[in-house]
Structures are given as structure tokens and as C-alpha cells.
Structure 1
Amino acid sequence: MKKTVSLSYKVLTIMLVVIMFVCSLVVGLLLYQAANQEQQLNQTILSRDVTRYHQFSTLLNERLSVWVEGLKYINDIPPGNTTELVDTFRRAEDFLLLQWDVNNIWILDNQQQLVYQQGEMLPDDVLEMVEQTLTEARPVAGVHCHVMCEQVVSIPVMINRQTANVVVMSTSLQELLALLSEAADGASQSDLVLVKHARGANSQSDRYFINSMVSDKQERFMRDILAAIPPSASKTKLITSGYEVNVNGRAYLITLLPLYQHKSNGHYLMFTHDIDERKRAYKSQNRVIFFGGVGLVLTFVLCMFVLLRRYAQKLTALANMLPLLAQKRFEEFKIQQKRSFTREKWLLDELDTLGEAAVELSDKLESLDQQMTVNTAKLEKMAMFDSLTGLPNRNMMTFQINKQLAALQRRQAGMALLFIDLDNFKKVNDSHGHHFGDEVVKLAGERLSRVIRENDLIARFGGDEFVILVTGLDKVEQVNIVADKLIEEFVEPMRISEQTFYISISIGVAYTSNSKTRALELMRQADTAMYEAKLERGSSFRFFNSSMNQKIVKQVELENEARIALKEQQFFLALQPQIELASKRLTGFEALLRWNHPQRGLVPPGDFLPMLENTAMMSELDFWVMEKAIELLSRLETNGYRNVKMAINLSAAQFANSALLPYLMELIELHKVDARNIELELTETVLVADIERAVDVIQQIRALGCKLAVDDFGTGYSSLSYLKMIPSDIIKIDRSFIAGMLETESDRNIVSSTISMVRSMGQQIIAEGIEQPEQLFQLATMNCQYGQGYYISIPIDEHRLWDVLQTKVYMGRWQL
């Protein structure tokens, strides 16, 4: 038994991974702790600045309050009236100016009338402080900033213990700044200055400017500081946590202190702390931590490199040998393996074992290479046939069409291409699963193969589409016989595992006798004709003709006209009211798209919507309708109709569009509408096309607060089976049942049972197409909640909506 040397290498590998992980974790924690400590130091400086500011500000304001309170002790007789109080302050003007830098003095009586003024006019915002002083009978202090910022203190003065006057004095903030500068300790040396925030400035230096007296040197320094603050540094960050900047190679911490505590007017006290030494120490510490960790990891990597070098040499040799296998040089590969790998048993390791396994692999590859030539022909044949039905596939059919087109030059005959599609095949997959769908496709292939001649060719193009190539035709009418036989093959239903399926086919025929016809063009013509046959609702065939191309051209022209119409605002919305049948209360509108063409006038929706349905233009129209409808909903809410919803129809393409939810959220936010008043309508055909995705999208729509309605309920083929799976809010009974409920008992029973079933499930129900008063009465008797239709109102042009609402809505009820 061969020995291997593997345990040590495994252990060393595990140790390397563990050491790298531990080192990374420790370095990360140390760096995080250092950064957190640095942030705490900044926060401590900020808190100390705020505390000192409030302490000194309070001290200076209380000094004036104490002086005013001591007036009665200055003179033998305290002021007995307002005149004596004014005389006292006139005599004290010089003292207050020289000793305490009092710039302005105002005295007001208890009616807030100015009785004395020394200095500037009394600012209006100071009157609020006067009113607060009279109300609370206590001194009130604050800051007033106009050109320059000043401290303002409003002090109540009682005369004869009856009348309350108010003395208002303002002092410069320079003394406060001086006290704050002197109080700064060596550990946090700081410069401070008053700044003002200028709104709408382009650069950071223009956003803040100096608003206090400073020396030229300090002004230059502060301007450099302001210029260094980036635009990304918001006022909130500067106030709450400060911002670090670099000026002239040194680091500084910048903090702002609002001078107005209860409202923001752009005046701030800016502290500038020199933290350069601390930042250098912080960066040095981080470098030591980082490079120490890197050095430790590199040391282990070097050790592992030395130990694994032998492994690397063998892997290199093996990498050079493996391309020989790809080149089928098997003998040369074996010689290289013997030369590069050891045969000493006590030195064997896993790579030696791998080298021997590679030799075994080369033997098997050599054997497989011999079989490959045999299998290639089989694989090429498989590539030309469909795996499910065994019929030729698209590649084979394309090859044969080109071959037969070339043969038309040698013989006077025609050929036809029949493009066949199974009708209602999607119904089989959706209702019974893809297994039954595959069985239906196989049976269809067998039935189609029974009809064609030996020299004709049938192929499966994919899904439920088949193509038959009929050659050697003397006249085009011969194709009619083939098409009729193909349709007759599907008259009898298909029976699969006790299930019966009624499947019909639609056939599109393209005929040619011209050898210059291209295969792709012929397939396109047959495909176009097949879609025309689809319009006959199954079991029919159509020949391609030029008018079908004209229809495509007309569709392109209509799409171009629709783009112009959207740009020139030719489209508009018509709103059909929805009411509560019991109370006649107006509950909402359904938004319907209309087109007012400048030449053709009002274009019916049935003329342009079906032709635009599968074009890129339809998506633009869908989102335009949504935006316009939500805008109208916003106007309705603004005009007092707050509980009126707007129903918006979603097409299949719009429902499948990933931009639907973000665009809907954007419109709700833009127009500030209540999402509960938005109702999105989907037909059950769209919902059951991909039920799992539909449920997921619906849940996201309902999470926004919007409602979802199932439109045209009862016309689909799986309404009841999917109703419990779809998380809808509203079910709309199709107008076809409402139209026949008075004359046909079956329709009446369907409507009644649908109403009972939906209401028992806790959902709302709306009846469409109410055109007679008897229908409305019958529906109300059946406990149908809501309804809409021409009897209630025709769709209302959005431009006439407000006039109609004034005449038709009284006390929230719709007047019939």
C-alpha cells in the first residue's frame, strides 16, 4: 500500500486560514476601537464647547439682571415711577457702556410701549422676549442678529410694587468670545468666530461668512477653514458631531453652535480646534496595527510558500501535461507523467496519486476518442430532429425549404408552406400541466403526419407550432385539399389518461413558384397568415396575400400616429362613475382611454387599441393613462372627493413590466394621493397566464395600499379554480351576464351565485354594463354592492368632469 504525506500540509493550510482570519478580526477590532475612541474625543470637545458657551452666556446675562435688581440699593430712594426709572438709566449709560459694553437700552411700560431708547431702534423679534418677560415676570435672555450678533436680556422692573416695566439691554458678543477663548485649555486649543450661513451659495466658502470682529490674521485663517469645509458636510453634521478638515497641512475639528436655540436663522458660533497632534498619533497607531497584522500574515504566507513549493512544481508539470490530452497525444502524455512524478513510495503524496489517475484518464479518453467518430454521425442526426415528437426540427425544415426552392429552377411546379398552431393549447398546460401538454403535442404530430405524402416534410418548430412543406404542386388549389384534411384530423377529440381534450388548429399558407423566394420570407408569410386564421377562432386556414402586409403597414402607421397623438395631447380620459347600488353614493370612477384625432375626430377604442396592443407604443399609453388617472384622483381629493377611488385598467404587457411598481410608487408620492383610492383592474386571462408571478406582483401592489380588481369575471376558463389563489379585493361581473339576467334565468342564477360567493369570501363586487333601471333594481335586491353602466352615466370627458359633478352629485349621492 502506497504511503502519502498529506496530514501536515492539511494542518498547515488550516492554520494559515485560521491565522489570517484571527489577524483580520483583531486588526479590524483594534482599528474600529481606535476610530470609536477618536469619535468620542470629538464628541467630548463638542459637549465642552456647548457647556462653556451656555455657562458664560448665562453669567453675562445674569450680571445685567442682578444690576437692574439692585437699582433700589444704588439710590437712597428707588424709582417711584417710569420717569424716575428712565432718569436712573440715563445717568448709568456711560457706566453700562464702559464697564459692560451695553450698546442699546430700551425701556417699555406694561403696555409694551417704548418709553425710553438709547441706541438703535428696538427690533421686532425682541418684542416676543418683552411679552414673555411680562407674562412670566422673570428675566428672559436671547441672541439677536441683524448686521452683527448681540446678547439681549429682557428684565422686569416693579415700580411701587404695582406697575411692571421692562428694561431691555443688548451687549456685544465679543466679551463672550473673549471669555470662551480664555477658558480653552491646552489640550483643546481653539479659535472661535461668529459665522452666518448664506442660502443658495455655490461654493462652501460662500455658504458661510464671518460675522464678528477678528484680526486680519485670524480672518485669513478662518477663511481658509471655511473654504476647506466640503459641500457634503451638512449643517446637521457640523452641529451634532463636527467635521474634520485639513488646512495648511494641519488637522482641525470644526463645530457649529446655533445662536438661536428654538429656530434657525443662519447665525452660528464656529469653534475651530487644533487636533493635528492627536490625528498624527491616531494615524501612526493605525499604521502600526495594520502593518503589524499584514506582517504577521505575510510571515505565515512565506512559510506556507516554502512548504508548498514542491506541490506547486508538480501542479505546474501537470498543467503542462493536460493540454496533450486535448491534442490527443496520449503516448507523449504518459512519458511526461513518468518523468515528472516520483516513484519513491516514502515520498508519495496526493499529487503523485493524481498523476497516476491522470494516466488512467488518458486511457479512457483514448477509448472515448475512438467511439467519438462513430457517435458524431448520430449526434448530427439528433440535432436535426425534435426530441419530443421525433419529427424534423426548425434546422432541418430550413435546410429542406432552401433545397426545394433551388429545385424550382429545374421544374415547373409550386410549393407551399403550411404554418400550423394548436388552438387553446395554453389552456391544456395551465389547467392540466405540461405533461399533458407534451402528450397533446405528440398526438398532434402523429395526426398531422398521417395526412402528408411521402415526399412532403413535417417539422415541429417548438411549443405547439408545426410546419408542413408540400412540394410538386401543379396549382395552388391543391393546398386547399391538404388543409381541409389536416383540419378534419382534429375533429375527433384527444383522449389522454381518461382526460378528453378538444383541440383545433389554425393554418397559415404561403405559396410560391418563384425560386428566388427566400426561406425566411416564406416562413414569415405563413406565420402572418396563421395569425389571420387565428381570428376565425380555430379550425380554419388562410392564404397569405398582400393585404396582410398592408394590415401590418397600417398597424405601423397607426403606431406612428399614436406617438404623435401622445406628444400633441390628442389622447384624453373618459371617466365612468361607479356607485353604491343601495344608497346611490358615488364611490369611484373607471378611467377609459379616448382618442380625439384632428382629422378623423373621435376614434373608437375598438379601432386603435387592438392594433396597438402588441406594439411598444401600448406600454407608453398604459403608463400615460396611469399617470393621468392618478393626477385626476389628486384633483378629486383636493376638491373634497376624498373617498372616491380611481379604477385603472392594466394590460398584460404593463402587468409584466418590472417598472410598474416603482412608477406607481413614484406617482403616489408625486401627487400625494391616498393609495387606498387607487384600484388596478386586471382580466382573469392575464392573471392565470402566470399565476405564481401574478400573486407575487399583486401582493406587492396591495402592500402599497392599492386595491386590485378582477375584471370581466366569468368570461375566462378557470375563474372559480383560481379565485381563491388570487389575493384580490374586488370582483367585476362581466357585462354579458348583466345584459341577459332579466331575460335568461341561467344568467340571473350565475349573477346571483357569483354575488353570494364573492361576498362570502369577504370581497367587494361590482356589476358592469347596467343599462336599465330594472337591472339596477334586480342587482340591488341580490345584495350586489356597486355598479356602473350607461343607465348610471356614460363615460364623462375629463374636461367636463367638474361641471357634471356639480349637477349630478348631491350630498355625496349620484342623481340618476
Structure 2
Amino acid sequence: MRPFVSLPWKILILTISALLVMSVTLTSFAWLKMEQDFRMQQEKQLSLRQQQFEHLNQLLENQLRSWLESFSEMADIRNQPNFQGFAGALAEHFDTISLHLNVENLWLFDRKGNLLQASSPAVPGRIRQTVSQVLTELQPFSEIVCQDQCVKVVMLPVQNQSGEVAVVAMTTTLLDMLSSLKQGVGSEVAIVRIDGDLQKSARELRLMSLSNANTMASVFAGIPVDATVSQAIERGLPIRQGDQHYLISFLPLVSSGHGYYLALVDDISGFARAKQKYQQQMVLFALSSFLIIAAVIYFSTLRLSHRLLKMARHLPLLAQRQFAEFREKARSEPLLLSDELDVLGRSAEQLSVELEQLHATIEQNTRELENIAMYDLLTGLPNRNMLQFNLKKALQALYTSPGQVAVLFLDLDDFKKINDTQGHAAGDQLLIEAATRIRRSIRPVDLACRFGGDEFVVVITEVHPVDIAVKLAEQILTEFQQPIELNHQLFYVSASIGMSIASSPETQADDLIRQADIAMYDAKERGRGLFTGYDQQMFQRLANRLQLESELKDAIKLHQFDLVFQPQIELASGRLSGFEALLRWHHPTRGVVGPDEFIGVLENSSQMVEVGYWMFRRCFEQVSELVRRGYRHIKLSINLSAGQFLDPNLPVVLAGLVDEFSLPGNHFELELTERTLVKNIEQTLTMMRQLKALGFYFSIDDFGTGYSSLSYLKQMPVDVIKIDKSFVFGMLENDADYQIIISTIAMVQKLELVVVAEGVENRAQLQVLKQHKCDFGQGYYFARPLNDQQLDEFLQNKVPDGFLTLV
């Protein structure tokens, strides 16, 4: 064996990457350090400038205060009985004072704050406020005050021979102090005003005083648009004008209040040029190093790449099953030392030998596997595996032959009933007949598969136009309109079909099947025996429904349901006849969820029966409480879903509640929709008779919106007819609604039943209903649905004697 040499030196590209990362990192750190040093230097300079400004401010204050003290002694104010002479001296020497000390205004105030002498009659409010403070504290005072411009204010209390105190106040411009500050720090100086929000644009800074108007105005005009006032105060503003670079720094000017700052403009062009030169040097050095190392790596790994490319060129021979040719062409001898590539070459030769042996075995097994698990044993149709294979192949074909692929998802309606009642053998016979009818309906180029259970899938290619898929679906539905003979009996079995279409080869087969499945369930919800095409809203509705079903399960466990009660009033007298119990859902995040949002989902779920029995118990408790309070003839209406009404345990449960609470059934009125009543007439009549024997009343809810039939009304022991609120809402504007209401009232009275109008919301509706002798009404005009507390207030305040005043 030749000595083994490691390969790391052949992959120096990693070193280049490491050097590049290190170079970028070091350069970044160097730039950051330079920025930090510059910022620290600026902070030190700002601190020194702050000290210089405070020093100049103190000098100006001492100068003015010393002059005032000297002038007071010269005027011999302590030996004067009043301040008239001192005021005259101030007026006489004001021009001299203004010339030598740059004093702009001079005032003399007596102990009551009245002006004794003023160079200007207008006295700022801040001056008067401060005079009162000096008169109180009898201490000199000074500050910088900014309004239209910034001035230095100095105040000194003086005392005459009588012990009376007056205050001398003067203001002087800050221009000399700014000039001295500029000479001291070497920067241009300005006073700026900042109003309002600190997050607004720094361009809105207001310049008040400038040491160099032309330079400062041009520099401030170059402030970036996106720079904010807050950034300017915290970090300063770098400005570039041509080859010149400036930095604007800000120092607070006044201690009381906000908004006035000293702006110091420094020329940092030298630093910027040094920084740019350093950056260029670093980039040039990194680029040169990278190029040199890249050249070294390229030439050192050239042979390595040649050998790898040679191996790559010959590897496809293995896929082409040319194993011997691969071993001959891929062989290569090492130059001096053996390395990893030689190990790879020997392993590739060994692999080709083993693949050659394996290929012979695979070819034999593949022929057997192609015939396994691709067809359904019962119907003879391709199964789900064949469906996936052919659907993926059809979608892939769209790359070369653009078009559309359609999927029909078919489910037999009520298959479970036949399977349960007639036996599994009859169910199998039904599936075989269904498969035959589907095969008979489609074209030879289409594929029909059994997806599982009573579900079938049809893959339709060459869908030009889409009407072809629609016609095939309609043909299948037509086939299922014919009866099927099972166990010498004829059964009419319909099918619900959902369709999805794809025109993109990127579409996933599972997604296309899932979309057709969703469309099929939509067809079932619409009435079964129908065909529906998929749209995105179906998926959203299904997702929302599943989410709502999940939350409803939690709502039951967490006791989030509650009942509210809407009063029912006898229209002729105003007597409170009873209430309708309405379900409400207190969702932890949505708040109170309306019944329209969840009742439909709840009624079609297994939780409806459980919620219904909870409602019964809650209603019995409420009626028991009302009877205890003296409402002995009160009646409570309870809505029943179809699932709850047809539950065999319903009479047993209600009988148990009647015994437990010792309440007769005539306190309760069970509301049923017309759809529930006609769903199974015989079973409905049986259940109604059992509950009637317990004393319960029955009402038809939302009368006129469903499957109304006078023959059903004659058969069923119904006591009350409730007119749907949609007719009441429109009866004053819509003559058709009006006619429906008055004819319904007349018909119900002829049948000697009671009529209740829902949705009474105004006095006009009430008057019309009373005119036509409607028995009872409920709606917002009388009261909204009431919780326990509101119900108690309603009984005490609105119907204390059992009657509601109707106006």
C-alpha cells in the first residue's frame, strides 16, 4: 500500500472563506472602533463646550450684576427716601449702559411690581413672574429666556433709606457670548428652537441666532429628510456638502423648559477623508489577499477537479446499467501518493459490481410488484395507489401538453343505512353496481377508482372545455337516478359529487383530491344528489366549521353557555304571558357569540343533545323561580333541534324533570321548525303524542319560511304558530309580507290555534298586529333578550303587576 496522504490541502477553499470572513470581521471591528473613538472624542468636546458656555454665561451674569451693584452705590440708593432719583439715574444712563454692556431692556419695579422706570413699556410675562420671586426671596436672580429670541436676564433687589425694596431687571443679547464661544471652541454656533414632537423631521428646526449666517444656513439646509429631532439631539447630525463634511451637535440652552438648544457645527472633513482612505486600503488589501489565495488554491486543486469531473462524467453509466464500461473508463492510477479520491474510485468499482448483481434481482421483482396492490378486489376498479400514480402522471403531463385535469369525488348518499339494515353483502353488491354505473358513464380515456368505503374518484384528462367534466358528472348522477335491486327490493341511492380542476403541473395530487372531497361535502350540505365545483370559499367555510366545532366542545366543558329570556306579551291586554329561552355563548376571546353564528353547527353536531338537556334543566329552574315569585301561569318556550326532538330518551328526561321540580308540563312550550316536523312524519307524531301526554305545548317556529302544509297542521297536535320576524319587519313597506301576515293570522284563528308574531320592533307594527287580532307578540319593542339580572329588573320595574303598558 502506498502511504496515505490527507486531503485538507486540496480543499483550501475553506481557508479562503475563513480568511474572507475574518477580513470582513476585522475590518468591521476597525470601522466600529474608529466610529466609537470619534464619538467619544465628540462627547468630550461637547462636555468641554458645555463647561465653556456655562463659564461665559457666569461671566456675563457677574459682569451685569457687578455693574448694577456699582451703579446702585454710585446712585447712593441707600440714603434716598424713595426710588425716584434712582429711576432717573437709570433712565439718564441707559444709552451708555446699552452701548457698553449690550443691554437691550432695563426695568425698575417697586415692591408691588409696578414699573418705576422702563426702557420699553412691554414687559414679558416671564419677567414679571420672576420679579415676584426676587421680591419674595430678596436674592439676585439670572436666567436665559427664549421667546422670539434668547436673552440673558439679570435681576437685583435694591433697598432705599426707608427699607423699601425694588428690583432692577435688565436683559442683554447673547451674541457676544456666542461670539466668544465660537472663538473658544473653533465651531460655528447657532441657537435653534425645537417645537412639538421629537420624532418629527430635523429639517423643521428653527434657526434663531447664527454666528455665520451663510455657512450655517447652507449646512442646516443639507439635513437629511429622514433625520428626526430625537436622533439629532442624541447622536448629532452628519452633513455632507460636496467634499466637505460637517457634524451638528446640540447642547441644551436653558434649564427651565424645553425647546432651545445651542447648535455647534464642526468641520469633520479631515476625519471623513481619513476614514475613507482607511476603508479603501482595507478593501484593497482584502481583495489582493483573496485573489492571491484563490490563484494558489485553483492551481493546487486543478488535478483534483479533473479527477472528480472524470468520475462525474462516467457515473451516468451506472444509471444506464453499463457497469463494465463504467469500471473501465472511471479507473485512474495515483501519481505518487494515494488519497481519498483513490479510495472513492475503488469504492465506486465495488459499487458497480454490487449494483450489477442487484439490478438482475430487481428486474425480476419489479415485474411482480407491478401487479400487486393496484386494483380493488371487490369492484375491479383501480384502487387508491393506482389513482395517485395516474393522477400524478396526468399532472406531470401538463408540463409538455398544457391543458386541464379534473377530479370528480363521488360519495353514495345513505350508504350506511343500507349497509346496516340490509347487511354487508347487500352493501358490497351496491358498491359493485355503483362501480359499474360509474364505468358506464365515463369515457375510455378517463380513470375511475374506488377511493375507499363508499367513495369513488374519477380522473378526467383532456378537459377541453370544462363542460366535458360537468357533463360526465351529470351523466353519473343520471345513472344513479335509476333504482338498484338489493335482496329483491328496489332502493333509490343518490350520489353527491364534488369536482376540482387543475391547470398547473405544480398542483399536488393530494390537494386536488382534497379539494374535490370538500366540494362533495358542500354538495351533501346543499341537499345531496347534487354536483358542486370547488372554490376557495368552501375550504374557508370548512376550516371555520371545524374550528367552531372544536370550540363548541370546549364551551360545553367550560360552561360557557348561558340562557337569556325574551318576554312574550298578550297584545290585547299587555299581560306578560311568558318568555322564550334563547341560547347564548360567552366566548373567552370573541365575547358574546350570536346564535346565528353557532346554532347551525351545534345542531348538526353530537353536542346538541347534551346542550339541549342542559337547557331543559336550566329552563325548569327558571320557571320554578318565577312560579315561586307569584307568576303561576307563566309559560316558557324552548327551541328543539331535529336531533334533540327525535332522541328516544327525550320523553324520559322531560318526565324526570317534571317529577323533580314538581312542575306541570303546561308551563313549557316546545318550539319546532317546519323542517323538523316533516322530516319523519310517523316518528314526529309518535314523539309529539308522548310529550303531549306530559302536558307540554307545541309551537311551529318561523312559520312560512319552510315546508308549511295544512295537512300536517291538521295531523299534528300543534298549539301555537309563530310568524317569522322577516315578515313582520317588512309588512309596513311590502304589501306581500302584509298579506301573508293577515292571512296567516286568519288561518290560524280558523284552526283555533294561537298565533305569536316575532320581531315586533315599533309601535306601527304593534298597532297593525292588534288590529288584526294577533294573540301574542315578542320583539325589541317590548324588551330585548334578558339575562338573569335584567330579567329581575324587568319583572320589578316593567311588569310589577304582570302587565306591560303598551303605548
**For the superposition of Structure 1 and Structure 2, which TM-score range results when normalised by the shorter chain?**
0.5 to 0.7
Alignment partner of 1:194 is 2:188: no
**2:386 matches 1:392:** no
Shift of residue 454, structure 1, vs aligned partner: 7.5
Verify: 1:105 aligned to 2:95, yes or no: no
The superposition leaves residues 767-816 of structure 1 with CA deviations (integer Å, 9 ceiling, x where unpaired) of xxxxxxxxxxxxxxxxxxxxxxx9xxx9979x999xxx999999xx9999
Is 1:738 aligned with 2:727? no
Residues 462/237 of structure 1: CA separation in 2 closer, same or farther (3 Å cut) = farther
What letter corresponds to residue 261 of structure 1 in structure 2?
S
Structure 1 counterpart of 2:271, which letter?
R
Q: How far has the Cα of 1:329 moved from its partner?
A: 5.1
Q: Residue in 2 aligned with 1:763?
A: none
| Structure 1 residue aligned with 2:42 | 42
After TM superposition, give the deviation of residue 213 of structure 1 in Å.
Answer: 5.8
Partner-residue secondary structure (3-state), 2:432:
coil
Could you tell me how far apart the structure 2 residues matched to 1:531 and 1:746 are?
A: 40
Given the alignment of the two structures, is residue 359 of structure 1 paired with residue 338 of structure 2, yes or no? no
- C-alpha change, 1:527 and 1:343, in structure 2 (3 Å) is closer
C-alpha distance 205-36 of structure 1, shift in aligned 2 (>3 A): closer
Deviation at 1:3, TM superposition (A): 4.1
1:240 aligns with 2:219: no
Q: C-alpha displacement at 1:104, in angstroms? A: 0.7
Aligned to 2:692: none
Match of 1:356, as an amino acid?
Answer: R
1:348 is paired with a residue of what secondary structure? coil
2:529 equivalent in structure 1: 544
Deviations 1:495-526 (A, max 9, x none): xxxxxxxxxxx974579xxxxxxxxx999999
Q: What is the one-letter code of the residue matched to 1:235?
A: V
Q: Deviations over 1:579-600 (max 9, x none)?
A: xxxxxxxxxx9999xxxxxxxx
Aligned counterpart, 1:271 = 264
Q: Tell me the equivalent position of 1:307.
A: 300
Go from structure 1 to structure 2 and tell me whether the alpha carbon gap of 1:255 and 1:531 turns closer, same or farther (over 3 Å shift).
closer
Q: Deviations over 1:204-247 (max 9, x none)?
A: 79623543365xxx433222201211122222222232121112
1:36 Cα offset (Å):
1.3
Q: How big is the shift at 1:716? A: 3.6
Q: Any residues of structure 2 matched to 1:671-682 within 5 Å, and which? A: 679=591
**Shift of the alpha carbon at 1:449?**
3.8
Does the 8 A contact of 1:419 with 1:530 survive in 2? Answer: no
Please tell me whether the aligned partners of residues 80 and 160 of structure 1 are also in contact (alpha carbons under 8 angstroms): yes
Aligned to 1:675: none
Corresponding pairs, count:
542
Kindly report which structure 2 residues correspond to 1:327-476, keeping only aligned pairs within 5 A, or say none. Answer: 330-338=323-331, 341-343=332-334, 346-365=336-355, 392-393=383-384, 396=387, 418-419=411-412, 449=428, 451-453=430-432, 456=435, 466-467=455-456, 476=481
8 Å Cα contact 2:20-2:290 kept in structure 1: yes
Return the letter of the residue paired with 2:70.
G
SS at match of 2:248: strand
8 Å Cα contact 2:72-2:158 kept in structure 1: no
**Cα offsets for 1:385-435 (capped at 9, x unmatched):** 699x997139649999xxxxxxxxxxxxxxx964369999xxxxxxxxxxx
Aligned partner of residue 180 in structure 2, secondary structure:
helix
Q: Which has the larger radius of gyration?
A: 2
Q: 1:8 to 1:176 in 2, by over 3 A?
A: same
- Residues 709-788 of structure 1 mapped to structure 2, 5 A cutoff: 716=607, 735-741=615-621
Q: Residues 367 and 165 of structure 1: is their aligned pair in 2 closer, same or farther, counting only changes over 3 Å?
A: farther
Alpha carbons of structure 1 residues 54 and 749: separation in structure 2 relative to 1, 3 Å: farther
Taking only aligned residues, the RMSD between alpha carbons, in angstroms, comes to: 6.1
Identity of aligned residues (%): 20
Residue 448 of structure 1: CA displacement?
5.0
Q: Secondary structure at the match of 1:119?
A: coil
Q: Any conservation in 1 of the 2:192–2:209 contact (CA below 8 Å)?
A: yes
Q: Kindly tell me: are residues 483 and 15 of structure 1, through their superposed partners in 2, closer, same or farther at Cα, counting changes over 3 Å?
A: farther
Change in CA separation of 1:9 and 1:157 when aligned onto 2, cut-off 3 Å: same
Matched, 1:64 2:64: yes
TM-superposed deviation, 1:254: 0.6
Q: Which residue of 2 aligns with 1:261?
A: 255
CA distance in structure 2 between the aligned counterparts of 1:16 and 1:63, rounded to whole angstroms:
69
- The Cα of 1:97 is off from its aligned counterpart by 0.5
Change (3 A) 1:283 1:206: closer
> What is the TM-score when the length of structure 1 is the normalising length?
0.53
**Structure 1 residues 525, 236: closer, same or farther in 2, change over 3 A?**
closer
SS in 2 for 1:194: strand
User: Counterparts of 2:660 and 2:301 in 1: how far apart (Å)?
Assistant: 80
Shift of 1:60: 1.0
Would you say the 8 A contact 2:413–2:528 is kept in 1?
no
Q: Is the 8 A contact 2:201 2:226 kept in 1?
A: no
Distance (whole Å) between structure 1 residues aligned to residue 616 and residue 449 of structure 2: 39
Give the aligned partner of residue 569 of structure 2: none
Instruction: Write the letter of the residue equivalent to 2:432.
Output: R
What secondary structure sits across from 1:453 in the alignment? Answer: helix
Change (3 A) 1:176 1:391: same
Q: Residue 51 of structure 1 aligns to a residue in which SS?
A: helix
2:519 and 2:46 mapped to 1: Cα distance? 77
Question: CA distance change for structure 1 residues 261 and 325 in 2, over 3 Å: closer, same or farther?
Answer: farther
**Does residue 54 of the first structure (1) align with residue 44 of the second (2)?**
no
1:285 Cα deviation (Å)?
3.4
Unaligned runs of 5+ in 2: 392-408, 418-422, 439-447, 459-474, 499-511, 542-561, 566-583, 625-652, 662-758, 760-777, 801-807
* TM-score, with structure 2 as normaliser: 0.53
Q: Is the 8 A contact 1:196 1:211 kept in 2?
A: yes
Separation in 1, partners of 2:23, 2:227:
34
Q: CA deviation at 1:140?
A: 3.2
Output the CA distance in 1 between the equivalents of 2:53 and 2:389. Answer: 88
Q: Does the 8 Å CA contact 1:194/1:269 hold for their aligned counterparts?
A: yes
1:76-127 deviation line (CA, Å, top 9, x unaligned): 4535433233223213312320111001112223333333220361122333
Give distance in 1, aligned partners of 2:242 and 2:457: 84
Tell me which residue corresponds to 2:396. Answer: none
Aligned to 1:621: none
**1: CA distance, partners of 2:452 / 2:127:** 83
